[in-house]
Amino acid sequence: IPPTPSHVSDLLYEKMVKEDLLEKKYSKMMENFYRLAKKIGHQELTEIRGKDYDVYLNDAQDFVDRMKEFIQK
């Protein structure tokens, strides 16, 4: 269990990527999601372009689908 949300991507990498249970891109995605959430929360990011939104949405759906697949195995 990660001590804080900022450690989730590190734990994904240490426990799942290094053990070849998960691809590295999902650890990076989680890190990007965390950074994005922080920027929004601190009002450093107040607008998202449509193209960027589509990328974030696709990444989030890919991440969720891969986690579902992992859990079902």
The predicted structure's pLDDT at residue 10? 94
CA distances in angstroms from 31 to 8, 72, 73, listed in the order given: 8, 23, 24
Q: Residue 24 corresponds to which tokens in the numbers above?
A: 């590295």
In which band, very low, low, confident or very high, does the pLDDT at 73 lie, cut at 50, 70 and 90? confident
Q: Taking all residues of the chain, what is their mean pLDDT, rounded to a whole number?
A: 95
End-to-end CA distance of the chain: 20
Q: Is the pLDDT of residue 1 over 80?
A: no
Compute the distance between CA of residue 60 and CA of residue 32 in angstroms, rounded to an integer. 10
What share of the chain has pLDDT > 90, as a percent?
92
